[in-house]
Structure 1
């Protein structure tokens, strides 16, 4: 899986290695579905502070196209973890939905015979 990291904020840039490790860890069981992941981190309010650290995760999937999830939190790590958790849940639901559709098709085809 290719992991791309984008950020203009110096504190977020320090998290480049951590971000790549977290993406690979969270998506380790789904990496066959996701050949490319792009993580963008930005500070919404700038130096004013507050709950304004934004992490956007874009996953390029083979079957579903692009999946984009964003999260806002008070620190970079929390925003990253929340966005990755939401993305992983979405991919699991997508994968399960595909299994259910195949199972229904097989059942329908076998009933026709």
Structure 2
């Protein structure tokens, strides 16, 4: 089975795991999920950093956190986060929120009308 995306559009997020072991399978899942969620805006994205942490350690509970920071050149960074009981759930929710946030940012920048003034003669 081939790759779901051509190599020229593959996103290479930086993945940081804190307090949780993140096997290669989950790292690959993060990349695939972000490629799917953000593929429509890939030309606008400069860099993506994903931070995954376990807030309570071995105690359990809804404490797996995913935080995604997207750098868009010329714009403020987009930061979204989510918590869930499982890492994959936190990744899914955070990727969805990141897609919505970048859509909002792009629609705002497109809707701004720039006033044009005639050149002044000196």
TM-score scaled to structure 2, two decimals? 0.78
Residue deviations 1:34-58, cap 9 Å, x none? 1211111100000000000000101
Out of 52, 68, 83, which is 1:72 matched to? 83
Distance 1:13 1:66, change over 3 A: farther
Instruction: Give the ranges of 4+ consecutive aligned residues of structure 1 lying more than 6 Å apart after TM superposition.
Output: none
Q: 1:13 to 1:58 in 2, by over 3 A?
A: farther
Rounded Cα–Cα distance in structure 1 between residues aligned with 2:91 and 2:69: 12
- Note the residue ranges of structure 1 that are not aligned, 5 or more in a row: none
Tell me the C-alpha RMSD between the 2 structures: 1.6
Say how many residue pairs are matched: 105
1:7 corresponds to 2:17: yes
Q: Partner of 1:63: helix, strand, or coil? A: coil
> Match for residue 95 of structure 1?
106
- Displacement of 1:2 after TM fit? 2.9
Task: Give the structure with the higher percent helix.
Answer: 1
- Structure 1: distance between partners of 2:73 and 2:12: 13
Q: Deviations over 1:8-61 (max 9, x none)?
A: 412x33411111111111110101111211111100000000000000101111
Return the match for 1:25 from 9, 13, 36: 36
* Structure 2 unaligned blocks of 5 or more: 1-10, 118-122
Superposition pairs of residues 29-48 of structure 1, within 5 angstroms: 29-48=40-59
